[in-house]
Amino acid sequence: MLITPYAYANGTYENACLYYSDDGLVWHVPPGVRNPIGTQIEYKYNSNAYGSDSNLIYNPNTRKFMCYYVIGDVRGNETIKNPKVKTYDGITVSPEINVNGHGVSPVVLYDEATRTYYMWIVDIDPQPNVIYRYTSTDGIHFGNKQAVGLSSQYHPWHINVMTYPGKSTIYALFTLIGNEGFNDDLHIATANSYTDNFIVQSSPLLKIENSSSATHEDVQLYRSAGIFSDHGNILNLWIPARDTIGVWTVFYAQATKENSVWTVKNFTFQRAPLMTIQNTQYLYTPKQWMLSQGDSPKSHGVKREINEVWGYKTGHTPKINAKNMGTYTQINVKPIELQNVSDY
């Protein structure tokens, strides 16, 4: 997973970070990687420059990951949105490479049959915004620029795309914008092939009020990632959300199709922050308990007063006592059979 943390809307932290997972729930920093991997390094950018809109694909021919992101800047009346890419071979991250193109939210798919890269990117200079599609043979030098249609009363803001198992259909996850501002829901669309326009489902994939709970209120869903199950009956989703105090978290959910409509059902409200601001440092931890206030590796238990907790067990079930304290939930976690905290 390639993400750009955006803690408390502070662009200083919005630089691409690479993680890996064995199960899609617990995420770690890969070997040879020190996050963030994406930084504004070119002399033409000023101190207000920021990274954003990361995208990750794997090329089986080169056996490398392609890590795309955008470096943004504003100079006078000019808005700069320059796509970049770095490669990762499981050991080393390459130097930054310029990708020709302009816009936000670049997303790339690699077609093994034709050995062609397809890139969709949203140009926010025109009004309304326009999606453009490019092709490339190396994932760096893109051409054949074509406008892509979107069947919606709203306009595109951020996009992510994915293939469907065994079919030529392309699915896309959208966040949209209208004349009155952002539409804060998450939308899904389809295209019959790599080169077709997108048809947006009439109802949202996930509405903002359905991602909230009695103890947690989201105000915006953002650029999300999705992978279909092998049979295509489940869409696994990783969705960033901003709450009422500006904190961003990433949560996992599943969508299913019923009566030709994709929707997220049986929603759970567990939150998995992938990055924590603590003394302005990125969070590097091999631990499988990820708490918004940090953890205590040398004790036989963890006690924190926090709004959200997300954990993962490996082989043992910890004893948990949760107590509603009104403005927060007090959770006591104690290992059983004198197991170490690091086992949980």
- Can you give the pLDDT at residue 325? 59
CA distance 283 to 17: 11
CA distance 271 to 329: 14
Tell which residue, 114, 260, 101, has the closest CA to residue 190.
260
CA distance 185 to 220: 7
Tell which residue, 344, 270, 254, 256, has the closest CA to residue 300.
344
- Can you give the pLDDT at residue 68? 95
pLDDT along the chain (344 residues), means of 10: 80 84 82 83 62 90 92 70 91 92 92 93 90 95 95 93 93 91 91 96 91 73 92 91 81 90 72 39 35 36 39 46 56 48 40
- Can you give the pLDDT at residue 267? 57
Contacts of 214 (CB under 8 A, 6+ apart): none
- Can you give the pLDDT at residue 313? 40
What is the number of helices (H) and of strands (E) in the chain?
0, 25
Contacts of 149 (CB under 8 A, 6+ apart): 131, 197, 198
For the chain, domains (ranges, CATH) are 2-264 (2.115.10.20), 292-343 (no CATH)
Phi-psi region of 134 (alpha: psi -120 to 50; beta: other; left: phi over 0): beta
Q: Are 104 and 121 in contact (CB under 8 A)?
A: yes
